[in-house]
Amino acid sequence: MIALLLSLSAHAGDLSLAGASQPGGVELVDPVVSATGDVWLGTAVTDVDFLADETRRLSAVRFAAGGAPTDRLRFDVELPMYAAYIDAAGQSSTAIGDLRVGATYGVDTETGISLGGFGWATVPTGPTDTTIGGAAGIAAGQQTDRYGWRANIGPARIDGVTGAWIGAGGERAVSPWARLGAEAALAPDGLRVSALARFGAPQGALGGWVLAGTAIGDSRYRAGAGLTWRWGSGRGDFDEDGLVDSIDECPFAPEDDDDFEDADGCPDPDNDQDGISDVMDICPLEAEDVDTFEDDDGCPDPDNDRDAVLDVDDRCPLTAGLLDGCPDRDGDGFADIDDLCPDVPGPVMGCLDTDSDGVPDPRDRCPLQPGPPDADPRRSDGCPAIAFFGGDQIIIQQKVYFDLDSSRIRADSYALLDAVAARLRENPDIRLIEIAGHTDDTGPDDYNRRLSRSRAAAVRRYLVEEGRIPPERLHSEGYGEARPIAGNETDAGRATNRRVEFLIDSTERENRR
């Protein structure tokens, strides 16, 4: 907080901006001096009452400034300007008031109470023939971020009257942004009481205040409001965490001082932001990895099963093993999660393959009779078949026959197409098959293209109607003579080119890879 400055009035009932604009006294001087280099400027608008000589000073605008060249000494200067200065004869004018200068010297003690001396003087620069006024004395006080108090005693001369100056007062912080206070002072011209509220964001240089005061047993009163702007290092630390409010990002909440971002003044109840409070977190600076393994201790577990294979690379992060982090109980080189026979060693998917057709015995419906050599062992049942998945298509061991120059399917091909339908029903994950029709080069190109297209469409119709295959899984296309797989110079070559193919759609092929 900025230290308190002189606030004695040059005239009874007058307002001193120096005191009102700083934490501390209104009438009284606070011996606490702010940090070295602290500088402030202020302005105030006040309404002031009748004076003893019936002169009235109304709507004064006051300008003040102050600074602390050391951490014990502070100077202040103040000059009022009256918009309506009404003298005893009733004449009104705009006038400059009496210039006021002051100084405070304070020393902090080990008890936390500050002691010091003060002095101020007014120079008669106003419109009336006033004499030099002033005061000097000793002050005691204490300022914390929650409360403050002060007491003064000494001689003073005010409005030509000399006497003792004795007073006490205090204030309480209701937030880092607001303090409320009150004072009572016995002056040479009577007893004065004042109340003050001060406002200002701890991080900002701008502050404000409102004040009300009166002289007991007299008609004099005063009220005012003002703004101040200060530079320098304030002393306030509302949350008492060792960081002054001007740099404390959380002035209400004390820093927790746990070696994690302690310079911002904000507590960090969960440093690693893993959802586990630091008081419960064994590793407060390392985030829990939340992988269903010891997730309540707040510590990451990069290798849950401690098999020297990090969890990011471990296919079995909760079970120790050497095959990609997985166990292999039967030692056949297949991890248990991939091994169809985890307790019996075998060369094919971890199992025996008696007929050596690539289909492991537990899945082989014909374990003593090998299936087609080109069959995909992942989809084959291990039995001889006239239609089976191989590579990127359904391989058929026979041809699909049609009537001459027609798309009518001959009856002797029904069994083959039924086998194709069976393979499709057994593999519902294959979502799209292209039925491709081809011809030899006999006849015009357009005719061959139309014929191949109609024959492919006929096969699709059969698989949908007789094979119970959803139509959206089948697409037909005719290529005519454009894609031969043998020469068309011989009858055998032309017969080979006249064919129907069942191709896994290119999109499906990419998804399977």
| CATH at residue 49 | 2.40.160.40
Are 30 and 120 in a shared domain? yes
Rounded to whole angstroms, how far apart are CA atoms 165 and 185? 7
Domain count, the chain: 3
Query: Is residue 371 assigned to a domain?
Result: no
Q: Which of 281, 283, 313, 326 lies closest to 302, judged by CA?
A: 313
Neighbours of 242 (CB within 10 A): 12
pLDDT of residue 7: 32
**Looking at 44-48, 176-180, 356-360, 449-453, which range is the least confident one?**
44-48
State the residue range of the domain holding 108. Answer: 17-231
Instruction: Assess contact for 103 and 86: CB atoms under 8 A.
Output: no
Are 44 and 188 in a shared domain? yes
Are 195 and 57 in a shared domain? yes
Residues 6+ apart with CB under 8 A from 342: 329, 330, 336, 350
Query: Is residue 285 assigned to a domain?
Result: no
Are 306 and 204 in a shared domain? no
Q: At 476, which CATH number?
A: 3.30.1330.60
The Cα diameter of the chain in Å comes to: 139
Please say which residue of 352, 376, 410 terminates a domain.
352
Query: Is residue 316 assigned to a domain?
Result: yes
Query: Is residue 411 assigned to a domain?
Result: yes
Q: Residues 39-97: pLDDT tens digits?
A: 667 666 665 544 444 455 555 677 778 878 887 888 888 887 776 655 556 666 677 87
Q: Residues 472-490: pLDDT tens digits?
A: 999 999 999 999 999 999 9
Are 33 and 129 in a shared domain? yes
Rounded to whole angstroms, how far apart are CA atoms 138 and 424? 104
- 31 Rama sector, left if φ>0, alpha if ψ -120 to 50, beta otherwise: alpha
- Mean pLDDT along residues 153-173: 86
Are 342 and 486 in a shared domain? no
Are 82 and 151 in a shared domain? yes
Query: Is residue 357 assigned to a domain?
Result: no
Are 345 and 399 in a shared domain? no
Kindly state the percentage of the chain with pLDDT values over 70.
80
Range ranked top by mean pLDDT from 116-125, 376-385, 445-454:
445-454
Are 339 and 390 in a shared domain? no
Instruction: Assess contact for 169 and 149: CB atoms under 8 A.
Output: yes
